[in-house]
């Protein structure tokens, strides 16, 4: 994490490093302060976490922030008041969760960061999938989480992924893929939230074929050839334009 490496950074440094707005940087710092990771100061923040070497999650959280924020806004628009949804673990789905704070919905998640974010929202009913928690990513996996999922039904499952190719979606952990397959099975519709950097990449375990998902939301930098591949598999493609970038916010569906 940028802050963990330096110990102290100013608000302007964070804005310049992450390419985000001052208001977004302030909200993120306030959230990190609630988690005990930083202490806010006048004009910046001091790192207070015990780890000088950031978690995998914290590293990924600082990458492609503007794109993930834009994707999160579009995906949140799929959610209706009163919905029951699944939010997969990951830094992009975390941005979706931020947009859902204060909504009257039921959220099922295996992500500790998402649970911490939504757990104090009176309007949101949170169901956390228990099990073994991976320290690198803060997600729960294993038999207990799988047993819970088998008895649940939701309207939407919002998924992240480590890689997308013409063969399908991939993730880095076999146990994570097993749980994500159950998430997909529990949902009426599957929405994948993924920035353009994950396309053309494979990882250890294949999650599913492209035609097993209903919607994919990426950012405006996604190459048009990938949109064509997805649409030819029956996936509805939605492109979110990051703040300060030119172009349409939606690539349409089809």
User: Per residue in 158-182, pLDDT tens?
Assistant: 999 999 999 999 998 888 999 999 9
pLDDT value, residue 16? 76
pLDDT value, residue 42? 74
What values do phi and psi take at 8, rounded to 5? Answer: -140, 140
From 16-20, 163-167, 189-193, 247-251, the region with the lowest mean pLDDT? 247-251
pLDDT value, residue 120? 84
pLDDT at 3 over 70: no
| 215: β partners | 191, 236
Determine which helix (DSSP H) or strand (DSSP E) holds 26, and give its type and residue range.
helix 22-34
- Cβ atoms within 10 Å of 120's Cβ, excluding its own: 10
Cα 46 to its chain centre, rounded Å, is 25
pLDDT value, residue 76? 97
Higher pLDDT, 34 or 75: 75
What single-letter DSSP state applies at residue 22?
A: H
pLDDT at 37 over 80: no
Nearest-CA neighbor of 125 among 147, 154, 145?
154
Assigned token pair, 207: 């999650």
User: Per residue in 193-250, pLDDT tens?
Assistant: 999 999 999 998 999 999 999 999 999 999 999 999 999 999 999 999 876 554 443 4
Higher pLDDT, 25 or 86: 86
Q: Is 239 left (phi over 0), alpha (psi -120 to 50) or beta?
A: beta
Specify the CATH class of 65-240 in words: alpha beta
What single-letter DSSP state applies at residue 196?
A: G
Nearest-CA neighbor of 191 among 48, 71, 67, 26?
71
What values do phi and psi take at 28, rounded to 5? Answer: -65, -40
Of the CA atoms within 13 Å of residue 221, those in its CB half-sphere come to 16
Q: CATH number of the domain at 2-54, please?
A: 1.10.10.10
pLDDT value, residue 54? 39
Given a contact cutoff of 8 angstroms between Cβ atoms, the answer to whether 239 and 219 are in contact is yes
pLDDT value, residue 49? 57
Q: What is the mean pLDDT of residues 44-53?
A: 59
pLDDT at 50 over 60: no
Given a contact cutoff of 8 angstroms between Cβ atoms, the answer to whether 235 and 211 are in contact is yes
Domain borders along the chain are 2-54, 65-240
């Amino acid at each position: 994490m940028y802050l963990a490496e330096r110990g102290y950074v100013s608000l302007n440094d964070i804005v310049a490093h992450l390419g985000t707005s001052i208001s977004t940087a302030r909200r993120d710092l306030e959230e990190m302060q609630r988690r005990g990771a930083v202490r806010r100061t006048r004009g910046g923040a001091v790192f207070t976490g015990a780890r000088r070497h950031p978690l995998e999650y914290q590293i990924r959280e600082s990458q492609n922030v503007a794109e993930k924020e834009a994707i999160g806004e579009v995906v949140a628009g799929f959610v209706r008041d009163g919905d029951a949804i699944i939010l997969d673990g990951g830094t992009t789905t975390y941005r979706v969760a931020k947009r859902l704070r204060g909504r009257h919905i039921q959220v099922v998640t295996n992500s500790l960061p998402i649970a911490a974010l939504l757990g104090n929202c009176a309007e949101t009913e949170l169901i956390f999938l228990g099990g073994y928690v991976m320290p690198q990513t803060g997600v729960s996996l294993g038999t207990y989480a799988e047993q819970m999922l088998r008895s649940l039904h939701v309207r939407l499952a919002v998924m992240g992924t480590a890689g997308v190719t013409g063969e399908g979606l991939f993730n880095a952990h076999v146990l994570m893929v097993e749980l994500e397959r159950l998430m997909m099975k529990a949902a009426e519709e599957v929405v994948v939230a993924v920035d353009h950097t994950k396309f053309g990449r494979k990882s250890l375990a294949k999650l599913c074929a492209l035609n097993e998902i209903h919607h994919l939301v990426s950012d405006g930098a996604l190459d048009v050839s990938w949109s064509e591949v997805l649409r030819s598999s029956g996936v509805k493609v939605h492109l979110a334009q990051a703040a300060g970038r030119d172009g349409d916010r939606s690539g349409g569906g089809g």
